[in-house]
């Protein structure tokens, strides 16, 4: 009896301990953002930047980048109040930022601006150092960022996720020819793989695995352990991040390390796309929109399809074969809908 009580107490205090885990970070969003071409920052080559609209129109900007700005129309007095950001949030709490990145085309400028307006720059502190006269000013965090940096960062996250899918395929017995391996590896920084691939005969699976872990760990650098004191006077553990990019890699790291490999990557029952599962029960692509509904779009579509199919079948309007043709699904799958009653449809998508 005593022992049970001890364990219970211990468990409760452990649960309490983890419920107090803190995730600290501050992300500024200076929406709306706009694209500025040919900006030379601190003497570097001209490139494209995503810049907060108010900052682009401010006298500070004209002063800092005299050769970049177009002369303002005569009656356009710049009365923009500097240091106004439209939103401040904790980047650890925005799991949808990772999903947005996985799904986006980083070369599409509209999608990029939409990302900035929603989540802000990936490395918000960079602007402070890029705009030299504001170097010490924390309020300048998140006002501008190199588009090249954004594209590179998004591509790196997407290729790591793709790499995990490939690793799954290899583990399930799929083989890649030398040419296919090379085509795949070329998406990654050659420093990660080239010497080993060219000079040491390492199995593709091992190379892929070593490379993915290296990339993840390098990108976790903006994250650090963080101690916080709560009102009970005790110290509690946590993490802090310097920027949104670190938080995104941390969310990915959590998804990849939380469960043993196989459960993490799943094929959606509706669209057959692979997705990153955040719970063992998840059967459909998650809802990538900021405001999530109870059911993801794929789950809704799947439910409607199965409902319609059952109705046709029950009323004798269509045969299994006809339904399979209509929806372009396998016969086995359609048969499954008719026998497995509500197993799939009754279950909610886990958040």
Interface residue with Zn ion, options 298, 309, 324, 334 (CB under 5 A): 298
Considering only the stretches 83-91, 131-139, 165-173, 266-274, report the one whose residues sit in contact with Zn ion under the rule CB under 5 A: 266-274
Token pair belonging to 41: 């920052």
Q: For residues 184 and 201, what is the distance between their CA atoms, to the nearest angstrom?
A: 17
Helices (H), 236-348: 244-258, 297-314, 320-327, 331-339
Considering only the stretches 30-38, 120-128, 260-268, 316-324, report the one whose residues sit in contact with Zn ion under the rule CB under 5 A: 260-268
| CB-nearer residue toward Zn ion: 230 or 272 | 272
Interface residue with Zn ion, options 35, 271, 305, 320 (CB under 5 A): 271
| CB-nearer residue toward Zn ion: 155 or 271 | 271
**Three-state secondary-structure class, residue 28:** strand
Interface residue with Zn ion, options 36, 248, 285, 309 (CB under 5 A): 285
Burial 277-293, CB ≥16 within 10 A → b, else e: bbeeebbbbbbbeeeee
Q: Which DSSP letter does residue 89 get?
A: E
| CB-nearer residue toward Zn ion: 57 or 287 | 287
CB contact at 8 A, 252 and 272: no
Interface residue with Zn ion, options 268, 306, 324, 334 (CB under 5 A): 268
Interface with Zn ion: number of residues (CB under 5 A): 6
| CB-nearer residue toward Zn ion: 116 or 270 | 270
Considering only the stretches 57-65, 80-88, 250-258, 265-273, report the one whose residues sit in contact with Zn ion under the rule CB under 5 A: 265-273
Q: For residues 189 and 240, what is the distance between their CA atoms, to the nearest angstrom?
A: 27
Nearest-approach distance from CB 340 to Zn ion, in angstroms: 19
Q: Judge residue 242's burial from the number of C-beta atoms within 10 Å of its C-beta, 0-12 exposed, 13-18 middle, 19 or more buried.
A: middle
Residue with the CB atom nearest Zn ion in the bound state: 268
Token pair belonging to 142: 């998140």
Q: Which residues bind Zn ion (CB under 5 A)?
A: 268, 270-271, 273, 285, 298
């Amino acid at each position: 009896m005593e022992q049970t009580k001890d364990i219970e107490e211990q468990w409760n205090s452990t649960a309490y301990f983890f419920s107090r885990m803190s995730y600290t970070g501050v992300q500024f969003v200076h929406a709306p953002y706009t694209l500025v071409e040919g900006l030379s920052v601190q003497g570097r080559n001209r490139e494209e930047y995503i810049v907060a609209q108010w900052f682009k129109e401010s006298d500070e900007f004209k002063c800092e980048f005299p050769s970049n700005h177009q002369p303002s129309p005569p009656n356009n007095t710049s009365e923009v109040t500097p240091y106004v950001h439209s939103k401040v949030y904790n980047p650890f709490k925005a799991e949808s930022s990772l999903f947005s990145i996985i799904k986006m085309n980083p070369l599409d400028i509209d999608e990029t601006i939409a990302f900035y307006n929603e989540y802000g720059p990936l490395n918000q502190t960079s602007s402070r150092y890029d705009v030299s006269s504001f170097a010490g000013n924390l309020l300048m965090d998140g006002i501008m960022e190199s588009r090249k940096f954004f594209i590179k960062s998004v591509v790196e996250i997407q290729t790591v996720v793709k790499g995990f899918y490939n690793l799954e395929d290899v583990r399930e017995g799929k083989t890649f020819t030398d040419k296919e391996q090379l085509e795949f590896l070329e998406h990654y920084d050659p420093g990660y793989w080239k010497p080993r691939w060219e000079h040491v005969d390492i199995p593709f699976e091992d190379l892929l695995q070593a490379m993915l872990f290296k990339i993840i760990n390098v990108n976790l650098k903006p994250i650090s352990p963080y101690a916080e004191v709560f009102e009970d006077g005790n110290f509690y553990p946590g993490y802090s991040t310097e920027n949104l990019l670190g938080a995104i890699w941390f969310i990915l790291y959590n998804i990849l390390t939380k469960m043993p490999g196989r459960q993490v990557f799943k094929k959606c029952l509706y669209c057959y796309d692979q997705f990153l599962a955040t719970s063992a029960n998840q059967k459909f692509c998650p809802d990538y929109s900021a405001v999530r509904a109870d059911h993801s779009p794929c789950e809704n579509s799947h439910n409607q399809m199965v409902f319609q199919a059952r109705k046709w079948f029950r009323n004798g309007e269509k045969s299994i074969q006809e339904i399979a043709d209509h929806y372009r699904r396998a016969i086995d799958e359609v048969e499954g809908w008719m026998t497995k009653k509500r197993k799939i449809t009754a279950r909610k998508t886990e958040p």
